[in-house]
Amino acid sequence: MELKKLVEDLQVVDNTRLNHRHFILELLAPEKFPLILPGQFVQVLVEDSPSTFLRRPFSIHSVDYQKNTLRLLIQIKGPGTAQLSKLKSGDHLNLIYPLGNSFSLPFTKDVLLVGGGCGVAPLLFLAQFLNQNNIHPTILLGFRTKEEVSEIETYSAYGKVLVITDDGTEGEKGLVVDHSIFQKERLEFKKIFCCGPDAMMKAVAKIARMHRIDCEVSLENTMACGFGVCLCCITPTDKGNERVCVEGPVFNINRLKWQ
């Protein structure tokens, strides 16, 4: 498998609604996948939507090299995601993929994955990847409420899953950083991978720094191209303004200008 970006029409083989705001698209590629790494994303062309001019970026939720399918976990936010939620099996979707860098393979087995909202998307693929390398991470997932908690069994195959909801209707109650695993004096993890809203990632990064735990986060950003040519998606790093779509979306928090 080579590292190559493609522009390709993939076929929708399944569209599963998880709850009123989330759905999973399963997409079949016409040719054998190139190598895809955990943390990478795709740029989706939303057709027949008058208000979506640019493509929409989504993390790769999981990859099945045997079936040649990949899955996207999508939260309905605006016109683009609303249009995608209506796709049916047999429809086609144009993707540019795989894009961006990836989470790195850690030098430890004490790994924690932290995801919130649709930021859980890349963590499933990462957990699978870690398993292949004999790492069984702890996976802490934050949701708004019970109704949105989903795929717990899927994640459980790859590690120990902890759940926290904003309203306490399932698992512990509060934001992910309120979870009891963070309340100890010494945390048992040597590496944290985190993806979610900015505020959540910053809070997790703060804990990681406090406990001197190595931590990688997957940033969101407004993207025009997604493959490095427009310079619209930059984030300030120790090397100046870097592109989230090429040098990221995954950054080690030490490289970011988060205080």
Partner 1 sequence: MPDLSIHIAGLHFKNPVTTASGTYGYGDEFRDFMDLGKLGGIFVKAVTGKNRDGNAYPRMAETPSGMLNSVGLQNKGVDHFCHEIYPKIKDFNTHIIVNVSGSTVEEYVEVAERINELDNVPAIELNISCPNVKLGGMAFGTVPAMATEVTAEVRKVYKKVLMVKLSPNVTSITDLAKAAVDGGADVITLINTLLGMAIDVERRRPILSTITGGLSGPAIKPVALRMVWQVHKAVHVPIIGLGGIMNATDAIEFLLAGASAVQVGTANFIDPTVSVKIVDGIEAYMTRHKVKSVSELIGALRTE
Ligand X SMILES: Cc1cc2nc3c(=O)[nH]c(=O)nc-3n(C[C@H](O)[C@H](O)[C@H](O)COP(=O)(O)O)c2cc1C
Give residues in contact with ligand X (CB under 6 A): 230, 232
Q: Is 230 among the residues that bind ligand FES (CB under 6 A)?
A: yes
Shortest Cβ 163–partner 1 spacing (Å):
29
Tokens of 162: 């902890």
Shortest Cβ 231–partner 1 spacing (Å):
5
Binding pattern to ligand FAD, positions 187-226, x when CB under 6 A?
---------------------------------xxxx---
Among residues 164, 170, 233, which one has the least CA distance to residue 200? Answer: 164
Q: Is 235 among the residues that bind ligand FAD (CB under 6 A)?
A: no
Binding pattern to ligand FES, positions 196-225, x when CB under 6 A?
---------------------------xxx
User: By beta-carbon distance, which residue lies closest to ligand X?
Assistant: 230
User: Residue 80 or residue 159: which is nearer to a copy of itself going by CB?
Assistant: 80
171 binds, among partner 1, ligand FAD, ligand FES, none (CB under 5 to 8 A by kind): none
Q: What is the DSSP string of the chain?
A: -----EEEEEEEEEEEE-SSSEEEEEEE-SS------TT-EEEE--TT-TT--S-EEEE--EEETTTTEEEEEEE--SHHHHHHHT--TT-EEEEEEEES--PPPPS-S-EEEEEEGGGGHHHHHHHHHHHHTT---EEEEEESSGGG---HHHHHTTSEEEEEETTSSSSEES-GGGSGGGSSSS-S-SEEEEES-HHHHHHHHHHHHHTT-EEEEE-----SSSSSSS--SEEEETTEEEETTTT-SEEEGGGB---
225 binds, among ligand FES, a copy of itself, ligand X, none (CB under 5 to 8 A by kind): ligand FES
Among residues 149, 139, 86, 93, which one has the least CA distance to residue 117? Answer: 149
- Site residues for ligand FES, window 234-253 (CB under 6 A)? 243, 245
Q: Which residues bind a copy of itself (CB under 8 A)?
A: 47-50, 53, 83
Shortest Cβ 230–partner 1 spacing (Å):
6
User: Residue 7 or residue 210: which is nearer to ligand FES going by CB?
Assistant: 7
Among residues 91, 33, 25, 90, which one has the least CA distance to residue 58? Answer: 25
- Site residues for ligand FAD, window 65-124 (CB under 6 A)? 73-75, 77-81, 118, 121
Among residues 74, 71, 45, which one has the least CA distance to residue 60? Answer: 71
Q: What are phi and psi of 203, to 5 degrees?
A: -65, -40
Site residue total, partner 1 (CB under 8 A)? 30
Residues in touch with partner 1 (CB under 8 A): 4-7, 45, 50-55, 96, 221-236, 240-241
Residues in touch with ligand FAD (CB under 6 A): 41, 52, 56-59, 73-75, 77-81, 118, 121, 220-223, 249
Residues in touch with ligand FES (CB under 6 A): 223-226, 228-233, 243, 245
